[in-house]
Amino acid sequence: QQHQNDEEQKFPSMIFLAPTTSPMSSIALQKDPALYLAISPAQKDNVHVFHATNDGFCPYPERWERTGATTHMCRDNHVFQTRSSQQIIGDVLESLLSSSSSDVLI
């Protein structure tokens, strides 16, 4: 019965925009969560991580690829100011909102 309850449990969809987990973890003397976080294959389409090619605050975007999350690399900087970045982020958000039966966390 526990397995059945786990399958029925709804997890929120998530969007991470330029997550600064690596430098923040260093300051806190902790491991970067991207090193041990594991997204289940069933949740992959509901967890999106956006990185920018010119972002000194997020030096290890490849760590997030290993988590199993859907990752996006934008030709932009840390604040995602280009129209193309804003478009893809908006498209993903719209998709999650229209298909998700749970909350979307940004």
Euclidean distance between CA atoms 106 and 84, whole angstroms: 19
Dihedral in degrees, nearest 10, Cα atoms 61, 65, 70, 75: 30
| Mean pLDDT on 15-19 | 95
Q: pLDDT for 21-55, tens place per residue? A: 988 999 999 999 888 888 888 888 999 999 999 99
Contacts of 81 (CB under 8 A, 6+ apart): none
Euclidean distance between CA atoms 35 and 44, whole angstroms: 16
More confident site: 7 or 76: 76
pTM of the model: 0.83
Q: pLDDT for 51-100, tens place per residue? A: 999 999 988 888 998 999 999 999 999 999 999 999 999 999 999 998 86
